Structure 1
Amino acid sequence: MVKAVVLGASGGIGQPLSLLLKASPLIDELALYDVVNTPGVAADLSHISSVAKITGYLPKEDGLEKALTGADIVVIPAGIPRKPGMTRDDLFKINAGIVKTLVEGIAKFSPKAFTLVISNPVNSTVPIAAEVLKAAGVFDPKRLFGVTTLDVVRAETFTQEYSGKKNASEATIPVIGGHSGETIVPLFSKVSPSFQIPAERYEDLVKRVQFGGDEVVKAKDGAGSATLSMAFAGFRFAEAVLKASQGAKGIVEPTFVYLPGVPGGDAIAKETGVEFFSTPVELGPNGAEKAINILDGVTTREKELLAACITGLEGNIKKGVEFAQNPPK
């Protein structure tokens, strides 16, 4: 029996993510939690003729405890999008506070669950989650993941004309670093099967992978950000974790992890100077089995991109740790 939980299930990412999880044959029970509308979302999804039995909870009557108890995998897309007049710092404080509260619930009610953080800014919210779990004495770095799969999905999609794959996801394109702007580093030199990107297109493609979210915000006239593509990416990573946990071999996905706690991570931490980093990770029954170092042999330009990435990551990680240790009153 596999129980999956979505925290933030009524939102723009949460609803399509919950739909995809409900349709998955890997899940026997799906619990949805949010501060509003969850019973309606659950009722709607419950009419779908798939395996998973579905429940929906609100904060009242111990809803978070009921949702999380017995969970094997928890996906967190909770948070709010930036609204007019709101600074990025305002947004950070709100979303960071939401993630902190939800992870405190995980620490209490399902400390052994795989925890997948989608809530932005991932570069800061994953360190917050780690600090909360550490404080509760239940931190297992192999079971905490920042979901950076959307960057990979975009890289696959945007280079399809060069990979020549009818299904763009058949090309493996490592995207490492973090999950915002310049912290996102696509390693086009490491694609498999190998293909060439024209030199005159390289910089534009790097920027498009890094700032693809801006395209969606612009196309939605500022009324929203990437929700459907993020839900797809979140589901793709959750499915990979579940398949690996059930014994499937050879599953490797880039994800933002605490390097010192994952086998192979120390070498990457030493080379980059940061403790949290998105790198290809081999998944297994216990989560992150091995962090794979693919920094050897990167191009000169990729080294420059990595330098900018690490500068950004250092500040993002520090901000998350400081928020968790000294939350605003």
Structure 2
Amino acid sequence: MFNRVARRAFSSTAASNYKVAVLGAAGGIGQPLSLLMKLNNKVTDLALYDLRGAPGVAADVSHVPTNSTVKGYGPEEEGLKQALSGADVVIIPAGVPRKPGMSRDDLFNTNASIVRDLASAAGDYCPKAALCIISNPVNSTVPIVAETLAKKGAYDPKKLFGVTTLDILRASRFISEVANTNPTQEKVSVVGGHSGVTIVPLISQTTHKGLPKDKLDALINRIQFGGDEVVKAKNGAGSATLSMAQAGARFAGSVLNGLAGEADVVENSYVENPVFAKEGVKFFSTPITLGPEGVKEYHAIGETSDLEDQLIATAKETLKKNIEKGVNFVEQTSK
């Protein structure tokens, strides 16, 4: 069984020099994410891009006294090319946020086009970079990026990541509230995808597998649909941004630790994964070890309960449709 979750995003003091680009840096996720990446001691060159506002975010963040330079770019004067050129890690939170009553899939048409175009640019200007996809719906946008890069001959499955870390953070927090424990000590592996029923928290692999059924069912549902709490609480003004920024920064920090050759850097991520590939599920989130080439090792899901087996079966069927939707979008919109 393997359910370790890395907590190493900002732990190393080893000298490493990396360029990180944030695409969508002036948005609700992008701004706090940019600040958190400025605090990462492995980042020496931080490039912030957005259609508008990125230079202002860069100027603001640049005053934080850490050892990195920050530059902001817009679409003018080949700003996207400048932001991406030489990047080691690209984080993409660009897109429109959810509104009340809107599912992640409702965002598809708008965000799919944004992600496709940014992926195409990454394939042109930093084809060796690790790409961390936050833009929803992740279950479909990651296949969109894969297909877009593949058409350019620039797809490396070991360097394309769907960021599902927010589900991990929520699981740790929510289970601590049920069990009255310290959330920083709770480690919960969440597998599958990053939307509703595709999110499968493996509670049976924690020390709380004996939860009463009613509490267990409520906990799983809250982890799967926790984002709705934020959308509702913000009264239509946005979705999860601050917690998502923390999740993105943690995952990107782990990617950087892996690139730097640190040992035992493990995170869950939605990647091209062999675990259910024979069943037609090309992408699936499981624990992976990160290394200098991206994914170093894929880990098995581990022992699961009967309930979790049912949840995984449901997730697989939904993911097949989500993945197909992303692939078809690229096929239908290819220039």
Q: Could you say which TM-score interval applies, normalised by the shorter chain?
A: over 0.9
Kindly indicate whether the alpha-carbon contact (under 8 Å) linking 1:163 and 1:171 is maintained by their aligned counterparts in 2: no
Identity level (%): 52
Q: Which residues of 2 match residues 27-66 of structure 1 at below 5 A?
A: 27-66=43-82
C-alpha RMSD of the superposition: 2.0
The farther-off stretch of 280-289 and 226-235 is 280-289
Q: Distance in 2 between matches of 1:186 and 1:39?
A: 39
**Which residue of structure 2 aligns with residue 187 of structure 1?**
202
**Which residue of structure 2 aligns with residue 262 of structure 1?**
none
Shift of 1:94: 0.9
What code does the residue aligned with 1:9 have? A
Q: Distance in 2 between matches of 1:88 and 1:308?
A: 17
Q: Distance in 2 between matches of 1:88 and 1:282?
A: 28
Residue number among 31, 36, 42 corresponding to 1:26 in the alignment: 42
Residue number among 190, 214, 231 corresponding to 1:200 in the alignment: 214
**Which residue of structure 2 aligns with residue 111 of structure 1?**
127
In 2 relative to 1, CA 242–89 (structure 1 residues): closer, same or farther, beyond 3 Å?
closer
What code does the residue aligned with 1:250 have? D
Q: Distance in 2 between matches of 1:17 and 1:34?
A: 13
Kindly indicate whether the alpha-carbon contact (under 8 Å) linking 2:100 and 2:235 is maintained by their aligned counterparts in 1: no
Q: Which residues of 2 match residues 24-173 of structure 1 at below 5 A?
A: 24-82=40-98, 91-161=107-177, 165-166=181-182, 168-173=183-188
Residue number among 300, 305, 312 corresponding to 1:299 in the alignment: 305
Matched, 1:215 2:229: yes
In 2 relative to 1, CA 16–224 (structure 1 residues): closer, same or farther, beyond 3 Å?
same
TM-score scaled to structure 1, two decimals? 0.92
Shift of 1:294: 1.5
Structure with more contact order per residue of length (Cα contacts < 8 Å, sep ≥ 6)? 2
Deviations 1:205-257 (A, max 9, x none): 00000000000011111221000000000001001111111111111111000
Shift of 1:31: 0.2
Residue number among 178, 185, 189 corresponding to 1:174 in the alignment: 189
Q: Distance in 1 between matches of 2:185 and 2:57?
A: 33
Q: Distance in 2 between matches of 1:37 and 1:159?
A: 38
Kindly indicate whether the alpha-carbon contact (under 8 Å) linking 2:271 and 2:283 is maintained by their aligned counterparts in 1: yes
Q: Distance in 2 between matches of 1:306 and 1:281?
A: 18
In 2 relative to 1, CA 163–286 (structure 1 residues): closer, same or farther, beyond 3 Å?
farther
Deviations 1:259-312 (A, max 9, x none): 2xxxxx2x4423x540000111111111111111115x3111111111211111
Deviations 1:82-133 (A, max 9, x none): 4589897663111000000000010000000010000000000000000011
Q: Distance in 1 between matches of 2:77 and 2:248?
A: 29
TM-score scaled to structure 2, two decimals? 0.91
What code does the residue aligned with 2:217 have? E
Deviations 1:21-67 (A, max 9, x none): 01111110100000011111111111111111000000010000000
What count of residue pairs does the alignment treat as equivalent? 319
In 2 relative to 1, CA 223–161 (structure 1 residues): closer, same or farther, beyond 3 Å?
closer
Q: Distance in 1 between matches of 2:102 and 2:217?
A: 31
Q: Structure 2 stretches of 5 or more lacking a match?
A: 1-16
Kindly indicate whether the alpha-carbon contact (under 8 Å) linking 1:162 and 1:195 is maintained by their aligned counterparts in 2: no
Matched, 1:226 2:240: yes
Kindly indicate whether the alpha-carbon contact (under 8 Å) linking 1:147 and 1:237 is maintained by their aligned counterparts in 2: yes
Q: Structure 1 stretches of 5 or more lacking a match?
A: 260-264
Q: Distance in 2 between matches of 1:250 and 1:163?
A: 28
**Which residue of structure 2 aligns with residue 283 of structure 1?**
290
